[in-house]
Amino acid sequence: MAVDLSVSWLGVNMENPLYNASGVMCRSREELDAVAASAAGAVVTKSCTLSPREGNPEPRYARAPHGSINSMGLPNAGYEYYLDYAKNYDHASGKPLFVSVSGMTLEENLTMLKAFRDADLPCLVELNLSCPNLPGKAQIGYDFAASSHVLSEVVKVYDKPFGVKLPPYFDPVHFAEMASVLNSFPSLKYVTCINSVGNGLVIDIDSESVVIKPKAGLGGLGGDYVLPTALANVREFSRLLDGKHVIGCGGIKSGREAFMHILAGATAVQVGTCLYEEGAGCFARIRDELAAIMEEKGYRTLADFRGKLLTM
């Protein structure tokens, strides 16, 4: 039986549902080109700020027993770099391109969004409401009134479909509150769940030390640590959002986790820690593993099982 892994949504046509999580292998043109040349179904840029940022001091990423911990601090080349990349990208024959925007202030976000709007490029913008690794800067996604205000200002200047990247939520009341905010904005067409689980602490027992430098060792967790939380967020937002797509991100290292995310309701899925550790070759492996699972189960398309998670 031939398995069809393609995904079509918001005018985007992907050969398969896999792409990189913003923040991993997407800071430079060379990294973005490597993802584009891989088996990934799409490409997303590093979350950009108004001006270039070096990010937090090293070491700021470390392997952990069940995944990773990082406190990168939004290192990026500045929005004009990624705008130029998008202008020169082969949109006609290349893979779909997403641009992630993460201003340090609302004004910065509006300035960048206006620039991408005026460029009128065929790429989708993802507004990051959830970076947990900026010392002294709260995650806007945990303040529902502030999130509503930001989005109200965004839609005044950005009239194209866009998405947001969300932090992980842990309480049904918070799922419902954030969904209510998001449902108020028709042009907000998708959400990415989740960013890393913020402010974890990994300790090296041999050195009796933390393993990353920023924030005295506190950082965002990824990998196996976050899979159940990511799946919960994907499932809940898939149920609560009206006519919006959910992109799953968190703990995907094989076809099994990709299948779980889609079963929970994800339209497509992003790979982070696994991509960082394995490189762009992970996309072909995960793609083939997902296809094998679907074939074994008798599913021909992703729609055959998307969002059809059984409950007891």
Q: What is the mean pLDDT of each run of 10 residues along the chain (312 residues)?
A: 94 97 97 98 98 98 97 97 98 94 96 98 96 82 97 98 98 98 98 97 98 98 98 98 98 99 99 98 98 98 98 98
Instruction: Please indicate if the annotation marks 141 as binding a ligand.
Output: no
**Domain contains 309:** no
| pLDDT score of 190 | 98
Q: What is the pLDDT of residue 145?
A: 96
Q: Is 131 a catalytic residue?
A: yes
Cβ atoms 62, 207 nearer than 8 A: no
Global pTM value? 0.98
Look at residue 209 and tell me if it is in a domain: no
Q: Has 223 been labeled as part of a binding site?
A: yes
pLDDT of residue 133: 76
Evaluate whether residue 282 is within a structural domain: yes
Within-domain flag for 210: no
The total domain count for the chain is 1
Task: Consult the annotation and say whether 78 binds a ligand.
Answer: no
Task: Determine, yes or no, domain membership for 216.
Answer: no
Q: State yes or no: 38 annotated in a binding site.
A: no
Looking up residue 290, the CATH number of its domain turns out to be 3.20.20.70
From the candidates 123, 131, 193, 249, which is the catalytic residue?
131
Q: Is there a domain that residue 238 lies in?
A: yes
**Binding residue per annotation — 111?**
no
| Residue 72 labeled ligand binder | yes
Domain-located, residue 203: no
Residue-number span of the structural domain to which 299 is assigned: 7-55+74-198+223-304
Whether residue 67 lies inside any domain: the answer is: no
Write down the pLDDT at residue 131: 82
